Structure 1
Amino acid sequence: MIYLLLSILFATGLFVIFKYFGIYKVDILKAIFINYIVAFIIGFALAEKSIAITEIHQQPWALGAAVLGALFVSIFFVMAKTAQNNGVSVASVAGKMSVVIPILFGVLLYNESVTPLKVAGIVIALVAVYLASVKEEKSNLEKAGLLFPILLFFGSGAIDTTLKYVEVNFVPKEEVSIFSGSLFGFAAIFGFIVLAIKTIKKREAFGLKNIVAGIVLGVPNYFSIVFLIKALQTEGFESSTLFTVNNVGVVIVSTLVGLLLFKEHFSTKNKIGVALAIVGIILVTIA
């Protein structure tokens, strides 16, 4: 349980950092690239088992790490595009509601339990995620279409599902840090390619501010993934339960942080969502 709580706290920290990125006008693409490099370095520095960088491609989890790295970069762009075209609330809801995908795969692939209480808790949690995430803003949904929200929904779900599959089948407990660092290393490679293409089109200085922002982001980003993987490896903790609690937990904590730290306005709908989220977590955990 401690790993799950730590994952929730570090994942919430990412939302806080991104909030400050907007305040200080940080170039998110450049900061994301640096963040991946930092996470890669931390992974190898804290590795429980020594593996040379030149041997990464020989590891059984190497392909999974490469796929996850590509997904990380791709979904980042899809998320940004969804927020620009359809609104921040649509992007937030699409990303968070995707938790239903790893839940279904957990039940279908790993024969995880399905009880009335658990189903009720998951349904309540999904409703809670929607209510707590949606903001009173005008959405351009009709004009922009559903392409990017749908891609974000399935892409975010694919990340969690792939992470679970690779962890179960290929990642020993003593290689969690090195695997996590490697997937961020692959993400850095894909991010560099995108950044290089963008730089060719528009030459501009990298900026010390973006480097510092990337370093600040890289630390919690790395630990949010590591602790999530360690939570997935905990005996007796089903992934359908874990992903529900993790996702809804991040919604609750980030909502409270937004209210207390940034004085954000929350509607009655958002408050009901937080209350239902707590109920959903209790039901899923008991089940």
Structure 2
Amino acid sequence: MLYLCLSVLASSLIFVVFKLFDRFKVETLYAIVTNYVVACLVGLLFYTGDVPYSEIARKPWFWGTLALGLLFIVVFNLIAATAQRIGVSVASVATKMSLVIPVVFGMVVYGEELGIGKQIGILLALAAVYFASIKGKSIRVRRPSLLLPLGVFLGSGIIDTSIKYIQEVYIHENEYPLFSATVFGAAALTGILFAIGKSRHTPLRMDVRNILGGVALGIPNYFSIYFLLKALQNDTLNSASIFTINNVAIVMFSTLLGIVLFKEEISGKNWFGIGLAVISILLVALF
């Protein structure tokens, strides 16, 4: 449970850093690219063995990391587009509701069994994510705009599912830092190519604020993945339980951090969602 708690803490800090970007006028795209470079370097730093650069491409998980790196950038841009065109609440709900995909994958592929308590807990978790995320009016999305949150939902779910599958089948525990570093390195390369492509319309600009923002984001970003990989080794909880607790706890904890650090206003629906989150976590963890 310690690694799961650390993963939740690291993931929640990512939202805090994103919130601070507006305050310090950090340009998100450049900070994101820097963040992936930093996360890659942190992974290489924490890898205890010799880094076999020439052998990385021969690792059975190598091509999976390239695909994940590309997905990280694509999903990030989908989240940004969803938040800007439809609303932050829709983006948040679509991201966290994606926990359904790895849960179903675990049941189908690994034959993970879910007792009635865990089934109720997962259903409450979905409701908790919705109520804890909505701000003001209820979420309403027009049909033509559904493709954006659908892309976020599928992309986020595929990322979590792929991480679980690769962790289960291909990675040795001592390779977690190297695997994470390679994923972030692939995301950094994809992000750099994306930024270069965008520079045709908008000149590239890098300043100290963007670099510092990327450093502040990259460190918790790396550990959110590293600790999730460690948590997935849990002998007591299956992957369905871990992804449920992880996603719901992130929503709950990041909401509480918003209250404490940024004096965000929380509605009755949000408090109801937080309450459901606590109940769902208890059900999934105890049964």
TM-score, scaled relative to structure 2 = 0.97
Stretches of structure 1 lacking an aligned partner (at least 5 in a row): none
Match of 2:124 in 1: 124
Distance 2:234 2:114 in 1: 19
**Is residue 40 of structure 1 aligned with residue 10 of structure 2?**
no
Percent identity over the alignment is: 44
The within-5 A match list for 1:1-12 is 1-12=1-12
Distance 1:248 1:141 in 2: 23
Distance 2:140 2:54 in 1: 47
Asked whether the equivalents of residues 48 and 175 of structure 1 are also in contact (C-alpha less than 8 Å), the reply is no
Deviation of 1:48 (Å): 2.8
Distance 1:228 1:262 in 2: 27
The within-5 A match list for 1:1-287 is 1-137=1-137, 141-142=141-142, 145-287=145-287
Distance 2:281 2:143 in 1: 36
SS at match of 2:262: coil
Deviation of 1:234 (Å): 2.4
Q: 1:120 to 1:139 in 2, by over 3 A?
A: closer
Distance 1:108 1:151 in 2: 22
Deviation of 1:140 (Å): 6.9
Say how many residue pairs are matched.
287
Deviation of 1:19 (Å): 0.2
Query: After superposition, what is the alpha-carbon deviation per residue over 1:213-257, rounded to whole angstroms, capped at 9, x for unaligned?
Result: 101111110011100001112223200000000001101111111
Asked whether the equivalents of residues 49 and 178 of structure 1 are also in contact (C-alpha less than 8 Å), the reply is no
Deviation of 1:143 (Å): 7.5
Q: 1:120 to 1:138 in 2, by over 3 A?
A: closer
Q: 1:34 to 1:286 in 2, by over 3 A?
A: same
Query: After superposition, what is the alpha-carbon deviation per residue over 1:69-108, rounded to whole angstroms, capped at 9, x for unaligned?
Result: 1110000000000011111111111111111111110111
Deviation of 1:2 (Å): 0.5
Q: 1:138 to 1:97 in 2, by over 3 A?
A: closer
Letter in 2 for 1:63: W
SS at match of 1:127: helix
Stretches of structure 2 lacking an aligned partner (at least 5 in a row): none
Computed over aligned residues only, the root mean square deviation of the Cα atoms, in angstroms, reads 1.3
Q: 1:252 to 1:139 in 2, by over 3 A?
A: closer
Asked whether the equivalents of residues 125 and 277 of structure 1 are also in contact (C-alpha less than 8 Å), the reply is yes
